Amino acid sequence: MVAETSSTSASDDMEEYNRLKLKLLVLTLASGVIIALVVWVWYGWKIALSYLVGALVGAVYLRMLAKGVDRLGNKSKSLGYARFGVFAILIAIAAKSEQLQVLPAFFGFMTYKIAVIAVLAQDLTSASRSR
């Protein structure tokens, strides 16, 4: 009975973890699109395109980070740094491209942080309510 309870708890934890990963990805993409639309209205399509490309690359980075965390403990003991290449490529392309600008692309890339902060704030709010 104890083994059954611990396996159920582990599967519930994995289910919650998978929901968290999906929530972070959806929030990253949604906030990236919404902010890009606001930027388009305010600053024009070139800056909005730069921001949107950065946000999409940030979502790819977040997905790569989640896959690295998934492997952590099972197959590897460290996260590795290959995903930083995605950021470096984004900045290099934005610097060389006439269509993209570096600063909006960087801010777009950081959009995944908005999702992380939003989920953290939600968790902290729900934890303080349960007290």
Q: What is the mean pLDDT of residues 30-52?
A: 94
Q: What is the mean pLDDT of residues 10-34?
A: 88
pTM over 0.85: no
On the question of pLDDT at 14 being above 60, the answer is yes
Tens of pLDDT, residue by residue over 65-109, are: 888 877 776 666 666 677 788 888 888 999 898 888 989 999 999
Mind giving me the DSSP string for 33-81?
Answer: HHHHHHHHHHH-HHHHHHHHHHHHHHHHHHHHHHHHHHHBTTTBSS--S
On the question of pLDDT at 3 being above 60, the answer is no
On the question of pLDDT at 4 being above 70, the answer is no
Q: What is the mean pLDDT of residues 12-16?
A: 82
